[in-house]
Each structure stands twice: as structure tokens, then as C-alpha cells.
Homo-oligomer: A and B are copies of this chain.
Amino acid sequence: MTYCVGLMLDEGMVFLSDTRTNAGLDNISRYRKMFTWEVPGERAIVALTAGNLAITQAVMSTLQEAIDNPETEPGDCILSAPSMFRVAELMGEAMQKVQHKYQDTLEQRKESSSASIMVGGQRKGGAQRLFLVYAAGNFIEATEDTPYLQIGEHKYGKPILDRVITPETPIADGVKAALLSMDSTLRSNLSVGMPLDLAVLPEGSCHFSEHRRIEAEDAGFKALSDAWSQALREAFADMPDEHCAPDC
């Protein structure tokens, strides 16, 4: 399993992913699910992956091969594509190609080819955009109505996002909300695990202001997690005893 979240705020974008993969409960590994490309000031792109690891790794390798190949047409490379929409299309096309190659043999073995990729970023002169590419290669885009996307185990971490994230949320609060959303997920689903990968892309900069791994022993993350637990317990203790109907 996996949990990845991406926020698209007025001030910029926040991306957070875990690193746990598992084939059954008895085969747990650590794999990076965040992939970033940066041409500072020109273009910055983040992809977050969930689902069949062989599928998503093959998609990422396909995109990287196109970048590395000098004969690739500009429109077929995510680092020269004319729009973020085209970048999402390229992710989708790579997904279709990989699915086409393996879907049947996976199905024969009753294994899932399910996979999804969140991709977001900005190119100079364009707006920040955030997409979710499905296994069929089609994709949706985050809008101001719901300025975030999630992939993987999304349920535990959704309530906090729904309550605090709007396009106007400052980017520092967005980072906190993403971390707390991850914290709730880590507590409830063993198949989501530390360390985390965090990337922050301020609007208009095409340069990651923060891009780092958060290890299990990270003091800042632990302090935030503990403060949130404490705050929730205090908030709960302060709740009014007014669950009764007016007539009871």
C-alpha cells in the first residue's frame, strides 16, 4: 500500500509520500515513490506513484529514457513539453504502454496491474497544475473546489485535509496539514510507513524550496505528531456534553 498527497495552493504546491511497499504482509520493503525533475527557474515536476511497483517503475523509466534520448521530440519529453497538460498526457501514454505490455500476463496470474500516478508542477510562463493519472492513462485535475489529490490509502488522512485545506491556505500550513494527514494514515495502516519524502514548490519559482527525506526519528515530525495527539485529546476533553436532543 501507499499514501501520497499533493496540495495545490495559491502560494504553491506541497507533495508528500511514504516509502513502504509490500507484497503480502510478510514482504515489506522501502521504495521511493516520489520522483522529481527540476530545471531551476524553468520547470519543476513531481510524480508520486501508487499501485503495482513494477508498473510504476516501468512508467518512470520510460519517461526518463525519453528525457535521456537526444532524439526525443520536444513534445514527447516531460522536460520540454509545452504544457503541464502535455506532461500529464505523457505520463498517461507511458502508463498505457506499460499496461498494454503486462496487463494480460498479470491477469492470467490473478495479479493486479492497478497503478496510479499523481503528477504536478509548473513550467515558466504557465500555471501550477496537479493531475491524477489512472491505470487506463486517463487523468483528472485538481481544481480550487478540491485543491488536493491523494493516491493509495486515502481515507484515514482525508478528514484533516477536508477541514483545513483551501486554496488560500498558506504553504507552511499546507505542509503541516499534509504531515498530519500522513500521521493519521501511518497510525492506522501498517502498509504505509516511514520515512517520508517531502517536496515544496512555491508558485512561480520553478524551484523546490524544500525537498527532503523525513526519517522515522525526525525530531520535528515527532514533535508535530505528538502536539497533534495532545491537541486532539484536549479538544475532545473540551467538547460540550450536548449530544442530547433538547428534550432530554
Additional A-B contact list (10), CB under 8 Å, known A210-B248, A228-B235, A232-B235:
A156-B159, A162-B187, A162-B188, A163-B232, A180-B236, A219-B246, A223-B240, A227-B240, A231-B236, A234-B235
- Do A179 and B243 touch across chains, with their CB atoms under 8 A apart? yes
Contacts of A177 in B (CB 8 A): 236
- Cβ of A110 < 8 Å from any Cβ of B? no
Interface string of A144-176 (1 = CB under 8 A from B): 000000000001101110111000000011011
Q: Could you tell me which A residues sit within 8 Å of B by CB distance?
A: 155-156, 158-160, 162-164, 172-173, 175-177, 179-180, 184, 187-188, 210, 212, 214, 218-221, 223-224, 227-229, 231-236, 238-246, 248
Chain B residues closer than 8 Å to A223, beta-carbon distance: 240, 242
Number of copies: 2
Supposing A158-B188, A228-B239 touch, asked if A233 and B176 sit within 8 A by C-beta, the answer is no
Q: List 28 A-B contacts (CB under 8 A).
A: A155-B188, A156-B156, A156-B158, A159-B184, A163-B229, A163-B232, A163-B233, A163-B236, A176-B236, A176-B243, A177-B236, A179-B243, A180-B239, A210-B248, A219-B246, A220-B242, A220-B246, A221-B243, A223-B242, A224-B239, A224-B240, A224-B242, A227-B240, A231-B235, A231-B238, A231-B239, A234-B235, A235-B235
Nearest-neighbor residue (CB-CB) of A172 within chain B: B241
CA–CA, A66 to B53, complex, Å? Answer: 53
By a CB distance below 8 angstroms, the chain B residues around A239 are 176, 180, 224, 227-228, 231
Give the residue name and chain of the B residue nearest to A218 (CB).
B245
CA distance A244 to B234 in the complex (A): 25
Closest 7 CB pairs of A and B: A231-B235, A155-B155, A220-B242, A159-B184, A220-B243, A223-B242, A220-B244
Closest CB-CB distance, A224 to chain B, in whole Å? 5
Interface pair A245/B214, CB less than 8 Å apart: yes
Contacts of A179 in B (CB 8 A): 243
A194 to chain B, nearest CB (A): 13
Contact of A212 among B160, B228, B240, B245 (CB under 8 A): B245
Q: How far is the CA of A238 from the CA of B227 in the complex (A)?
A: 9
**List of B residues within 8 angstroms of A214 by Cβ:** 245
